[in-house]
Structures are given as structure tokens and as C-alpha cells.
Amino acid sequence: MHRTVTSDYDVAVIGGGPGGIPAAIAAARRGKKVILVERNGYLGGAAASGLGILGYLDREGHKALGGIAQEIVDRLTRMHGAMGHFRCPVHNSITPISPECFKIAAVEMCRESGVSLLFNAELLDVQVRDNHVCSAAVYGKCVETVLNAKVFIDATGDGDLAYIICPGRTITLARTAQA
């Protein structure tokens, strides 16, 4: 037995990794009502795994990434969770980070921007109307949350939202919801 709640947003971002975090922050900074849904109990995705982050510099060592991506590294540096960008012959650059600091910095930046966070919630179902995704159901901790939003951003890293709405396919991603 589980309960269902419904919430309305301008933008719903599904997935709180390096793709979803800046997307949510950018939308919130533009005054949108944003929710960021993450199946884990923390933000970060692959950036919370302990791997260094690639791609901040190009092949010649010039800055290739700025904006919110750089803001995150600047904050990590202030937290002693990063030491800057290093050139790499294989990946152009590598930016070693503390994954624990990344988790904290990501939550701080989301909160400061006004992003609502929903942790331990996995995408379960998607409703499409007139060729637009109009709502999504996420499930976690015995609660099904139905999110109505004008815009959905699939930042699951695996294209889960896109896969669910793919015509002719019916899948269930959240095994817990079946219980």
C-alpha cells in the first residue's frame, strides 16, 4: 500500500548527475519552478563515484567549459574538494574532485537557486498528451509522486524517460513499485 501526491512545476529534471544539476539550476535561476528527481539519496551521478571530471580543457589546454560547470569546481576548490584542472594526454584534461564535497556542493547550489529536490525517487511512468510529456510518476519510500510540468528534462544518463515513451514499448523501471 502506498500513497500518491501530486505537484506542479515549470520544469522537472529527472536525474541528478552532471547533466541534471546544471540544467535544474539554470532553469531555476531564470525564475522557473523546478524539481530535480534523483533515485539515489544524494546528487552527483558519475561525479559522485570518485572519478575525476574530464573535459574542462581542450586539446591545447584552453578552457572548454565554463558556466555552472566551472562554478561547481570553484566551489569545490573553496571547500578543498578540488585542486584545479590538469592537462591529460588521453582525455585533454582531468579535474580530480572529492565526491563527498561534490554531493554537498551540488545540494547547496540547487537550494540556493531554489530547486526543489526529491531524493530516493525513481521514474516509474510518463504521460504524453498532444506529443508532449505532461506528467511523470516517480516512486520512492512508499510514496508515488505525480509531477505535472511544462518541460521535462531526461537527465537519467540512460534515457529512461525517452525509453518509457518510446511507442510500442511498455516497461517498468521501478521494481519496488510492483510490491
Give me the residues that bind ligand FAD (CB under 6 A), please: 14-20, 37-40, 45-46, 51-54, 122-123, 155-158, 160, 173
Identify which of residues 27 and 173 has a Cβ nearer to ligand FAD in the complex.
173
Identify which of residues 147 and 155 has a Cβ nearer to ligand FAD in the complex.
155
Nearest-approach distance from CB 15 to ligand FAD, in angstroms? 3
C-alpha cell at 107: 545540494
Identify which of residues 31 and 89 has a Cβ nearer to ligand FAD in the complex.
89
Please state the separation of Cα 45 from the chain's center in Å. Answer: 7
Q: Coil, strand, or helix at residue 159? A: coil
Indicate the burial class of 120 (C-beta count within 10 angstroms; 0-12, 13-18, 19 or more). Answer: middle
20 within 8 A of 115, measured Cβ to Cβ = no
Number of H helices, E strands in the chain: 4, 9
Identify which of residues 75 and 94 has a Cβ nearer to ligand FAD in the complex.
94
d(C-alpha 17, C-alpha 44), whole Å: 4
d(C-alpha 25, C-alpha 67), whole Å: 11
Nearest-approach distance from CB 157 to ligand FAD, in angstroms? 3
**149 forms bridges with which residues in the sheet?**
9
80 phi and psi angles, rounded to 5 deg: 60, 30
C-alpha cell at 168: 510500442
Nearest-approach distance from CB 92 to ligand FAD, in angstroms? 11
Identify which of residues 66 and 130 has a Cβ nearer to ligand FAD in the complex.
66
Nearest-approach distance from CB 171 to ligand FAD, in angstroms? 11
Nearest-approach distance from CB 7 to ligand FAD, in angstroms? 15
Point out the residue whose Cβ comes nearest to ligand FAD: 17
